[in-house]
Amino acid sequence: MTAANRGDDLTESQLPQAGRDAEHMQGHWVLARLGKRVLRPGGEKLTKRMLAHTPIAGKRVVEFAPGLGRTTRLILEAAPAGYTGVDRDEQVVGIIGPLAASVGGTCIEADASRTGLPDETADVVIGEAMLTMQSERGKRAIIGEAHRILKPGGLYAIHEMGLAPEDLHESVKESIRNDLARAIKVNARPLTADEWRALLESEGFEVLWHGVEPMALLKMRRNIADEGLAGVLRIMRNVLTHPDLRARVIEMRRVFNTYGDALTGIAFVVRRKD
Ligand SMILES: C[S@@+](CC[C@H](N)C(=O)[O-])C[C@H]1O[C@@H](n2cnc3c(N)ncnc32)[C@H](O)[C@@H]1O
């Protein structure tokens, strides 16, 4: 992948929450400011495993929450018949719009729970690292919206934060939610594999595939795989020269390490049943 394809050419002012102080910035935008471009828990490896189960060529694809566009590029390279990105952040729309336009697609500024897109027009909906940060009601609204815009039989692919094992005690889940909220400034509510499955099934989908990878967002090996060596060196230089952002990363890493294997990256490919 070339530097431009990785999104290395994005400038700081193009990034979301660019004007916000480091202390109050959402965790994923802190990482983006430092140079990270892959902002999902299971890394690009899990994304690629998920996409291997999601035929895109010749399909009309809607991507929820494209962020900095790394998956967008993979989708566009797979020759879809159409592409529409939906993100609630106007800076993201500014980044994704031109990419989408290069294949005659578009990116709209909207909440994924109310896209305004017509019923039953998409073959595939893809959304990564965006459901975990919603309340239970918010998750249902977005999954329901994916169902509404998909044609019957259409595929919905998600990549989110998971919890393991299935019998993880409720008090641990509560601590994880509280610590994540404090560290990443987002009300993250990860679910176990069975909980994700039940949620998707209750909104009218059947599960075709699911996969898991470690939650290694801040681990060196994952970052070399996702960002390349030059990307990692740039991130390290930024960490050293931005003490306010460094403090945030140290706290995020502490929380991720505290819960170890209880936090995972999890992906599902599901099919609209009717
Ligand atoms: C953690 S980033 C993930 C970006 C990208 N999908 C990735 O995996 O690298 C979260 C993205 O979700 C978007 N987002 C969060 N909630 C949303 C919602 N309800 N509707 C639309 N976009 C949303 C944010 O603006 C941001 O671009």
| CATH number, domain containing residue 198 | 3.40.50.150
What letter would DSSP give residue 271?
A: E
Amino acid identity for residue 265 in this structure? G
pLDDT at position 5 is 53
> Is 187 strand, coil or helix?
coil
Mean pLDDT, rounded, for 31-44: 93
Are the CB atoms for 51 and 22 separated by under 8 Å?
no
Task: Give the distance (Å) from ligand 1 centre to CA of residue 88.
Answer: 8
Residue 70 CA: nearest ligand 1 atom is 9
> Which one of 70, 88, 213 would you pick to mutate in the ligand 1 pocket, going by the greatest count of ligand atoms within 8 A of its CB?
88
Amino acid identity for residue 46 in this structure? L
- Work out the end-to-end distance of the chain between its first and last CA atoms, rounded to an integer number of angstroms: 38
Are the CB atoms for 203 and 47 separated by under 8 Å?
no
pLDDT at position 16 is 79
Residue 157 near ligand 1, beta carbon < 6 Å? no
| Full domain range(s) for residue 80 | 3-272
Residue 66 CA: nearest ligand 1 atom is 6
Decide if pLDDT at 17 tops 90. Answer: no
Give dist(CA 131, CA 128) in Å, integer: 8
- How many Cα atoms occupy the beta-carbon half-sphere of 137 within 13 Å? 0
Q: Name the band, by pLDDT with cuts 50, 70 and 90, for residue 6.
A: low
Give dist(CA 92, CA 90) in Å, integer: 5
Amino acid identity for residue 43 in this structure? G
Q: Tell me the percentage of the chain whose pLDDT exceeds 90.
A: 88
DSSP strands (E only) in 38-193: 60-64, 82-87, 106-109, 122-128, 150-163, 191-192
Decide if pLDDT at 7 tops 70. Answer: no
Considering only CA atoms, give the Rg of the chain: 18
User: Considering only CA atoms, which residue is closest to atom 26 of ligand 1?
Assistant: 67
**Which contiguous run of DSSP H or E holds residue 4?**
helix 3-6
Residue 139 near ligand 1, beta carbon < 6 Å? no
Residue 92 near ligand 1, beta carbon < 6 Å? yes
* Tally of structural domains, the chain: 1
Give dist(CA 94, CA 219) in Å, integer: 30
Task: Give the distance (Å) from ligand 1 centre to CA of residue 142.
Answer: 12
> Which one of 63, 87, 93 would you pick to mutate in the ligand 1 pocket, going by the greatest count of ligand atoms within 8 A of its CB?
87
Task: Give the distance (Å) from ligand 1 centre to CA of residue 66.
Answer: 6
Give dist(CA 95, CA 86) in Å, integer: 12
Mean pLDDT, rounded, for 115-125: 98
Are the CB atoms for 164 and 193 separated by under 8 Å?
yes
Average pLDDT, the chain: 94
Residue 142 CA: nearest ligand 1 atom is 19
